[in-house]
């Protein structure tokens, strides 16, 4: 045995000495691309994920036209449109907004006006034929409420960016490009979030309920909550089924997160377990009467900070911990 192992150890040592560094380190880490280019990641036969325009954009193409889930930043609209046109020469018919954040809805106006809605029947019948001049924009009602304003007031978004079809029930469904599109109201990041499930293609666009590049952003002022995020992740687990072929226990239902890389159920499990464990820890501290400062000092996210934490930028670890604390202590 010693005779066998010595040359093995010798060869291994030589190889390691020659290059004991991870040769692909640059390809790992935060997958949000900020190189000014909109990248295309194929997801299913007729579904693509666009990366680099702000939030991830989902593109479904087919004979009837193009459907987008979210539109990215306003500054990236031209590039998003250019990429969409490489995927389909059909008109953009639908835009579904998963939330009202600027990096999700920024392209609404400029992208919608290049598309058109098939009108007639009871579709936009009360508005008139001009409503068919743009793509329809679908969202939960509170997204429209926040983007618009009462008559006489200055709205935060131009009218052309507003949702034209706001729903108020727990879900909305329609058929498009040979697939059933199911939109679920899934509050968590805010109170107006939606998840979009392409049933036949077996793809879910999760919006910011799920992301791989940071802790979940919980906007308490807009009705977000940690429990909403967890409920959304549990719903996502219910919707997803991994494949069981030579790609064992992976693939199957694919998940396009609000930000970050393409995922499947196993990736959602990692995130759901992380959020739930941190919720349990902070809940325990709230129950024991700890103050926010004491909770922060206890570092309830320490084990996940290398993956999701940051001390800079728009959503720091401290902000996440504070949001969880206030969400659970109902002091917001």
Spatial separation of the C-alpha atoms in residues 52 and 97, rounded to whole Å: 17
Backbone angles phi, psi at 293, to 5 degrees: -65, -40
Nearer to another protein, 78 or 305 (CB): 305
Q: Which of 248, 243, 236 is nearest to 276 (CA)?
A: 236
For another protein (CB under 8 A), the number of binding residues is 65
Cα–Cα distances in angstroms (integers) from residue 42 to residues 49, 51, 58, 271, 290, in the given order: 6, 11, 10, 23, 47
Report the residue from 264, 320, 324, 326 that binds another protein according to the rule CB under 8 A. Answer: 264
Report the residue from 2, 29, 154, 330 that binds another protein according to the rule CB under 8 A. Answer: 29
Q: Which helix (H) or strand (E) holds 312?
A: none
Interacting span for another protein (CB under 8 A) from 77-85, 138-146, 196-204, 273-281: 273-281
CB 95 within 8 A of CB 111: yes
Nearer to another protein, 166 or 230 (CB): 230
CB burial of residue 237 (10 Å; 0-12, 13-18, 19+): middle
| Residue 8 sits in the site that holds another protein (CB under 8 A) | yes
Report the residue from 266, 291, 294, 331 that binds another protein according to the rule CB under 8 A. Answer: 266
| Residue 23 sits in the site that holds another protein (CB under 8 A) | yes
Spatial separation of the C-alpha atoms in residues 228 and 225, rounded to whole Å: 5
Report the residue from 157, 281, 320, 328 that binds another protein according to the rule CB under 8 A. Answer: 281
| Residue 262 sits in the site that holds another protein (CB under 8 A) | yes
Token pair 């917001």: residue? 332
| Residue 103 sits in the site that holds another protein (CB under 8 A) | no
The pattern of x and - marking residues 284 through 303 that bind another protein according to CB under 8 A reads x-------------x-x-xx
Tokens describing residue 203: 């793809």
Report the residue from 196, 218, 254, 295 that binds another protein according to the rule CB under 8 A. Answer: 254
| Residue 41 sits in the site that holds another protein (CB under 8 A) | yes
| Residue 48 sits in the site that holds another protein (CB under 8 A) | no
Q: Which helix (H) or strand (E) holds 167?
A: strand 165-167
| Residue 151 sits in the site that holds another protein (CB under 8 A) | no
Dihedral over alpha carbons 320, 321, 322, 327 (to 10 degrees): 90
- Least distance CB 171 / another protein (angstroms): 18
Nearer to another protein, 15 or 129 (CB): 15
Sign for the CA dihedral angle at 110, 67, 194, 30 comes to: negative
Nearer to another protein, 27 or 312 (CB): 27
Nearer to another protein, 100 or 208 (CB): 208
Q: Which of 102, 1, 70, 84 is nearest to 38 (CA)?
A: 84
Site of interaction with another protein (CB under 8 A) = 4, 7-8, 11-12, 14-16, 18, 20-25, 27-33, 39, 41, 49, 51, 230-231, 233-234, 237, 242, 244, 246-251, 254, 260-267, 269-270, 272-273, 276-277, 280-281, 284, 298, 300, 302-307
């Amino acid at each position: 045995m010693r005779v066998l192992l010595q040359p093995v150890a010798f060869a291994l040592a030589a190889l390691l000495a020659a290059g004991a560094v991870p040769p692909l380190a640059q390809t790992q880490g935060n997958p949000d691309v900020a190189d000014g280019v909109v990248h295309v990641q194929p997801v299913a036969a007729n579904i693509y994920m666009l990366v680099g325009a702000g939030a991830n954009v989902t593109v479904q193409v087919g004979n009837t036209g193009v459907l987008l889930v979210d539109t990215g930043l306003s500054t990236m609209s031209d590039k998003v449109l250019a990429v969409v046109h490489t995927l389909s020469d059909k008109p953009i018919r639908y835009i579904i907004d998963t939330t009202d954040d600027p990096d999700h809805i920024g392209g609404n106006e400029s992208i919608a006006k290049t598309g058109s809605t098939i009108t007639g029947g009871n579709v936009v019948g009360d508005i008139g034929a001009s409503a068919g001049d743009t793509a329809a924009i679908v969202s939960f009602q509170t997204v429209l409420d926040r983007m618009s304003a009462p008559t006489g007031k200055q709205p935060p978004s131009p009218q052309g960016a507003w949702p034209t079809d706001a729903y108020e029930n727990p879900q909305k469904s329609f058929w498009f490009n040979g697939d059933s599109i199911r939109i679920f109201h899934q509050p968590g990041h805010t109170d107006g979030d939606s998840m979009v499930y392409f049933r036949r293609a077996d793809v879910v666009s999760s919006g910011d309920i799920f992301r791989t590049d940071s802790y979940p952003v919980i906007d308490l002022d807009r009705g977000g909550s940690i429990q909403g995020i967890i409920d959304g992740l549990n719903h996502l687990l219910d919707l997803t089924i991994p494949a069981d072929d030579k790609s064992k226990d992976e693939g199957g239902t694919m998940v396009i997160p609000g930000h970050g890389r393409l995922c499947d159920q196993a990736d959602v499990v990692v995130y759901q377990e992380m959020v739930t464990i941190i919720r349990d820890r902070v809940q325990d501290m709230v129950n024991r009467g700890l103050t926010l400062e004491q909770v922060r000092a206890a570092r309830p996210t320490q084990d996940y900070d290398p993956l999701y934490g940051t001390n800079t930028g728009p959503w720091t670890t401290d902000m996440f911990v504070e949001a969880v604390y206030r969400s659970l202590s109902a002091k917001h």
